[in-house]
Structure 1
């Protein structure tokens, strides 16, 4: 949806692939198990920025005016620009080599690794939480949509994936202009395999 992420390709190579230049790209060790609540690297109009994966919705309310209590890890594409809980959010993309999902019952779950022929570009929204003491924490959440036929047996949602040429439109386009981007990824372009070799206790 995604559940966890992995990124082993150097960020400098990703920057070159996206054509955004390598100046100011943060250094990052290979990460094979990126979990919600941990920091990720997101690309905004200002360049690559470190953000917390998960929006702490302090001060945000739902359609009934009640505080949003749960941390927002993923946001539904169908309502992300309509819900009051997302008023004023920014946009970013998160580039990874792939992500993990699970199927099955508790204690009998099967982990799946999903990747592509090239790095995958997730559409994301961003927010800034002002923590006690005034420290500002940049945050991000992935935008999700209906799954394609490849993912449907594994999960009922998938992250919105973008082509490199659509990144600028996602970052700068109007809500109307980006609506067509929030679609399931074409079938046959993802590799799905069991992830029995992952140390889930490691980062």
Structure 2
């Protein structure tokens, strides 16, 4: 699961794409320590041979699913399912990277849940594997949205949640984005190249984070 992000310095996140030869940025997203689904956030994707950062809606639903109304908007997509019929087109042509400084998970019972800030031990930015359908803003926001790929949590991360977003190294992220990478190889990349639990640390943060309207650096500070 990945239901909230820390993107507190968008300019730095974009600058950290130093492994890309050139990036055209169209983002107007504001810095946020408490990014929630349903908002427009900066996403790195490729059109032709050019890398773009565009503001996309966090949450995706295909056109036919939108019409049927039977499939919910997906903010996360299980790695185990990205090659099925629903996701196959985006696995081929819609691979993307969502940059962040961390993500949040909750533990505990309803009414007393504790949020945790999960981040790389070296405090550098993370590259989240995503599937996206970039396009102009339409009445259906989710049609041109993105979803973050998740996998089973491993070892220590199980203490926080049983799912984790797939976080890639710069080299793996470049290969994931490369239009010349066939879908089968792209799927293999997110299976074997995701950073393991030893790359991360986590600490409890202010429960006020649960309110999507809450903002401020204090939300990401250890309690």
The TM-score bracket by the shorter chain reads: 0.7 to 0.9
2:25 counterpart residue number: 24
Q: Within 5 Å, give how 1:94-133 maps onto structure 2.
A: 94-116=98-120, 117=122, 118-127=124-133, 131-132=138-139
Structure 1, 120-129 or 69-78: larger mean CA deviation: 120-129
Higher helix share: 2
Report the counterpart of residue 87 of structure 2 in structure 1: 86
Q: Which runs of structure 2 are paired with 1:28-47 in the superposition (5 Å)?
A: 28-46=29-47, 47=52
- TM-score (norm. length: structure 1): 0.84
Write 1 or 2 for the structure with the bigger share of strand: 1
Look up the match of 1:175.
183
Task: Give the C-alpha shift of residue 168 in structure 1.
Answer: 2.1
TM-score by length of structure 2 reads 0.77
Rounded to whole Å, the distance in 1 between the matches of 2:95 and 2:16 is 20
Tell me what 2:206 maps to: 196
The 8 Å contact of residues 148 and 185 in structure 1, kept in 2 or not, is answered as: no
Question: Residues 18-63 of structure 1: CA distance to partner in whole angstroms, max 9, x if unpaired?
Answer: 22346535354320111111111100014101100001333039xx
Distance in 2, Cα, partners of 1:136 & 1:185: 28
Counterpart of 2:144 (choices 138, 145, 152) is: 138
In 2 relative to 1, CA 69–145 (structure 1 residues): closer, same or farther, beyond 3 Å? same
The whole-number CA distance in structure 2 between the counterparts of 1:136 and 1:152 is 30
Unaligned runs of 5+ in 1: none
Q: Is the 8 A contact 1:58 1:68 kept in 2?
A: no
- 1:117-143 CA-to-partner distances (Å, cap 9, x unmatched) read 2111100001258845x9995210001
Number of positions where the alignment pairs a residue of Structure 1 with one of Structure 2 = 196
Distance 1:106 1:115 in 2: 24
The Cα shift of 1:9 comes to 2.6
Map of 2:72 onto structure 1: 70
Select the residue among 174, 183, 187 that pairs with 2:197: 187
CA distance in structure 2 between the aligned counterparts of 1:36 and 1:179, rounded to whole angstroms: 24
Structure 2 gaps, min length 5: 216-223
Quote the Cα distance in structure 1 between the aligned partners of 2:214 and 2:162: 27
